Chain A
């Protein structure tokens, strides 16, 4: 099969220029909070527009509806037969699950939060900017169809912030799927419950009853238009600021009522929340380095009080265009497949449905990514990390940093980034004010800037601790750089493909592109099966910006294209190295332990140890480890998943073993 048949001459692609992407303007919602009474605001008249088909019902009625639903009834009968207990007992069990799960949304709690959060937000943030047009669209959507809110997840703040915004703008308050870990915090857990959170266990694998209660609960709230349903597609907070591969369970559940004809349509609203400075910045980095995540506890939250004294810049919240499930499914899903089985009998979704939900999920995460606001600091993080990797010990001159940032600003804009770079201010000022907001991560001395790797230390520390301390800064910084990776990922894959391909023949470059893309599909949001589109997109961008010329057969680099290509190639470098290390480690182990292998859980720490050893002792490997980032457990997990997926590593009953050696090692040279 020749791929060339699939894409025409790249120049003729009628893709919309990402630079022309129309985005709404922002309004700062904190401004009014600073100028008027918080108390009056918290007690204001709240009369949101509701779903036109709503039959109002109380929280308790909702539970009754779930317990009396045909869906749950079916599963209860099934479970009672299987376990040999009476259906009353199973019903009791279901009621208990529901009790544990259910939200108890009440306005007074929301008002309480509205008051306190106003105080907190005003202290922490300079501004909270919202696209009000997006809110108008959301209001319309809520009126017309059941709505699912899909915010990005970078902070604990996210869901409180969402409800806060919706309350402020007089929009229907959502019910929010939250992980059970919150429930550990007694008071806060209940408070969250009363502000609309419902709690789900992190894993309930084969528990049919739990699944039935949970899915029916969500569906009933959604179908009846009780409230918008909110959940995080990524499943958990992204510690790296890269979007996580979407989880499909809940999306599957909320799409089901449409697919089965129970509602005319459902609106999915992606929401992009971008923090100029993440509250959990260093916390995430430590977590990625293996300091285990502290269990959520109320007292822990209060310890976070010191956070309150810092400046976290601004937050941008962009409510994206509502996506109609109906239009997503049009000419994709044959809905009549549900005609022959009563709809209350749970069935495993078909391959067709699974792939549809998966593609939709990727689309929605991309929609989130596209509307994430990038601050100048994100671009500075790119430059500083690259310099650090190049081991420029004395740092970068401010002028040079500014020049590079401006160059990157223009490039990223051409690629469609949603960059908030204040053009009316001289670039040097933009740079210095960004640096000052993130002063914890950078050191400026004598007009030169570098990452603040040499932290003051109290007492003697081991080399290993020192390394980890450095890594914390680097990973923190990387989490900002990562915010813009989605802008560059496709061109970067193409640049690396050009770099590694043996010739400039288009077919060959496409093959390396496809290999790299496949390898990194756990790392970045790359929709399965969209290799050709991604390749086209990358080609389009690089041709448009004058980096490449592409004719029928060949891909040629232009004179001025080299700088861009060099930059783009370097974007992927830390990841390539991470995957390479992983592979070497696995290979080594298969030699050392022979057939025994390692369990998956042992694997990450083992790899970490291996890397630390090599970072400390210098180059044991053929190529040097330049990137401290490879210590990130996220990278390692993704790499392992990729190796397993590519068949280089096999998982046998929880053990990991190396199967065959043939991987494109040449790519990474």
Chain B
């Protein structure tokens, strides 16, 4: 690494002083490890039945108090107190939005402010079931708001409909079991009275998995696991924790942190998504390079099915006892039963954490670098590569700088990279890095990675850029709501592929999106961007972000869906997978057969037929 870039690193490192509360000078963590969230928010009181919905938006992402808006001066601002970005002005966002989407602040598309309960169909109740349920004392509700809140995930079409006050088929009843035994009782009653059960965890699904099948004539009961959120025990000898499956990611980490541990499982949705949901969808976390994906983290699972409870008899770290039954459960997407308790691996909290970033002259070089890092098996806890559009987007989300000095430094860095190093600002791209471990090793590791990067023309670009990159992960979902206020709709979707196809898939899918938008009559060029978010020995995971200004379209959601459909076709045609970690749900069901072959479908089908012959778990996902 040249002396110049070294300098930049140190300079940008000092800029961290803006956030003294986050970290002391040697970089030792004083707070929760993920960058965006300030975990002062306490989880919902467990005693009453007021679930999180009161502090959550009913028709958008996340907390009610946190959102992007344009203030009176027309500047973008992020409200609330929960995030690092909260309360800050984001000067570049407006221009970015206007230039990227040709959006205009004059053209607003506000959401319906409150839920109109009369738009919700009255519940179809199974009286016999209800009567017996009452006798168990398990709390339940058929209040319209409770039901609507659990009737959807966060697919674009779901949120768009809510914003317009359109409500389709919703669960008829919500139940809140408090423990495994409650679930056993509920499932028994459901079988007895032929009631359809849909497990509900954090509600962050993006695969239409939570949508109630419109053709379902039985009473639909949403089984909300949110009250099953305790850590039942921690085993420090074996480094495992036994946890109820309804616990939400950030609470799990916070509670474990209190004992000096963590799971290290940090999916982007970890503020809201639940352990049970992770298991049911085969979730993947940002730091899987150190801690592994959910399938690597799970030691033992307990699931209640219509046939009874399934679990293994011991907690051996690996077994040769036929096909692993855990793999019927992981990815079953609520079609077989409810995961109630999970034993997970835990690790001591990392001593030291350090962000970083590298600028590459172009995306191709960036991918080549990530490939080399994976080849040498020296990936940091997280390594992500944003393409040029996303780099610009990230730039637009920079909060207002407090001092002339920092803005001067920013200018200097930009000058250095574009003028001195000759990077084309319209081609360069950025990798963000997160290192974790003991201090010595982190620094060593860091050097190794930066050395590799240098071979691919990469310049170290500072901790701040890296950290901001990860912060984006948590606020990007809020941004969609802002877009939707101004005729902009969009979504992200992911896939995984072998290394040699990464560039081809990124290029072709982005181009396909642009072309489909044009063909479908979208009036303005769309945002079509991607990033590589995970690296593996044999391939990578890529996220696509796609959004467009829908002014002039009569059915924008339909257009959106057609384009996403085409993009998925393109992914599959180029050798990408149907999903890396979002799952299949109902959104991607149509491609299952070609993905896993007819025999594969038959295998899954026969398991379903055995475990749940009456389709009690009738969300109709996957198959």
Contacts and interface: CB of A to CB of B under 8 A. Distances in A.
> 9 shortest A-B CB distances, which residue pairs?
A261-B574, A335-B573, A339-B575, A264-B511, A261-B504, A264-B508, A336-B573, A262-B504, A336-B572
Given A264-B512, A342-B500, A343-B500, A335 B574 contact: yes
Contacts of B505: 261
Contacts of A338: 575
11 contacts: A261-B504, A261-B573, A264-B507, A264-B508, A264-B511, A265-B511, A334-B573, A335-B574, A336-B573, A336-B575, A339-B575
A335 to B, nearest CB: 4
B497 to A, nearest CB: 9
A264 B512 CA distance: 8
B594 interface: yes
Contacts of A335: 573-574
B347 interface: no
Nearest to B575: A339
Contacts of B511: 264-265
Interface of A: 261-262, 264-265, 334-336, 338-339, 342-343
B84 interface: no
Most chain B CB within 10 A, of A261, A334, A335, A339, is at: A261
B572 A261 contact: no
A183 B501 CA distance: 39
A335 B508 CA distance: 13
Contacts of A336: 572-573, 575, 594
Nearest to A144: B511
Contacts of A334: 573
Given A262-B504, A338-B575, 20 more contacts: A261-B501, A261-B504, A261-B505, A261-B508, A261-B573, A261-B574, A264-B507, A264-B508, A264-B512, A265-B511, A334-B573, A335-B573, A335-B574, A336-B572, A336-B573, A336-B575, A336-B594, A339-B575, A342-B500, A343-B500
Contacts of B572: 336
Nearest to B573: A335
Contacts of B574: 261, 335
B247 to A, nearest CB: 38
Interface string B476-515: 0000000000000000000000001100110110011000
A600 to B, nearest CB: 43
A336 B578 CA distance: 12
Contacts of A261: 501, 504-505, 508, 573-575
Interface residues of B, number: 13
B592 to A, nearest CB: 14
A338 B508 CA distance: 15
A264 B505 CA distance: 9
Contacts of B573: 261, 334-336
Contacts of A339: 575
Interface in B90-138: none
B241 to A, nearest CB: 39
B375 to A, nearest CB: 15
Nearest to B576: A339
Nearest to B501: A261
Nearest to B503: A262
Most chain B CB within 10 A, of A264, A338, A342, is at: A264
Interface string B506-532: 011001100000000000000000000
Interface in B537-596: 572-575, 594
A262 B500 CA distance: 10
A336 B570 CA distance: 10
Contacts of B501: 261
A28 to B, nearest CB: 36
A335 B575 CA distance: 9
Contacts of A343: 500
A146 to B, nearest CB: 13
B546 to A, nearest CB: 16
A631 B464 CA distance: 83
A265 B575 CA distance: 16
A160 to B, nearest CB: 35
A532 to B, nearest CB: 29
A261 B574 CA distance: 6
A448 B505 CA distance: 69
A264 B500 CA distance: 16
A338 B504 CA distance: 13
A330 to B, nearest CB: 10
Contacts of A264: 507-508, 511-512
A542 to B, nearest CB: 37
A336 B574 CA distance: 6
B138 to A, nearest CB: 47
B566 to A, nearest CB: 11
Interface in B440-478: none
A264 B503 CA distance: 11
B377 to A, nearest CB: 21
Contacts of A265: 511
Interface string B313-347: 00000000000000000000000000000000000
A264 B511 CA distance: 7
A265 B338 CA distance: 46
Contacts of B512: 264
A335 B574 CA distance: 7
A339 B500 CA distance: 11
A335 B505 CA distance: 13
A601 to B, nearest CB: 46
Contacts of B504: 261-262
A56 to B, nearest CB: 13
Interface in B208-256: none
Nearest to B577: A339
Nearest to B594: A336
B367 to A, nearest CB: 14
A194 B520 CA distance: 45
B565 to A, nearest CB: 14
A239 B505 CA distance: 45
B162 to A, nearest CB: 35
Contacts of B508: 261, 264
A264 B566 CA distance: 14
Contacts of A262: 504
Contacts of A342: 500
A342 B501 CA distance: 10
Interface string B346-383: 00000000000000000000000000000000000000
Nearest to A264: B511
A332 to B, nearest CB: 12
A334 B511 CA distance: 19
A663 B39 CA distance: 88
A229 to B, nearest CB: 20
Contacts of B507: 264
A131 B577 CA distance: 45
Nearest to B504: A261
Nearest to A337: B573
A395 to B, nearest CB: 59
A336 B594 CA distance: 10
A260 to B, nearest CB: 8
A264 B594 CA distance: 23
Nearest to B362: A55
Contacts of B594: 336
Nearest to A342: B500
A265 B94 CA distance: 34
Nearest to B510: A264
A262 B508 CA distance: 8
A337 to B, nearest CB: 10
A264 B508 CA distance: 5
A450 B511 CA distance: 60
B620 to A, nearest CB: 26
Most chain A CB within 10 A, of B504, B572, B573, B574, is at: B573
Nearest to B507: A264
A385 B12 CA distance: 86
A220 to B, nearest CB: 15
A445 to B, nearest CB: 63
A394 to B, nearest CB: 63
Nearest to A344: B500
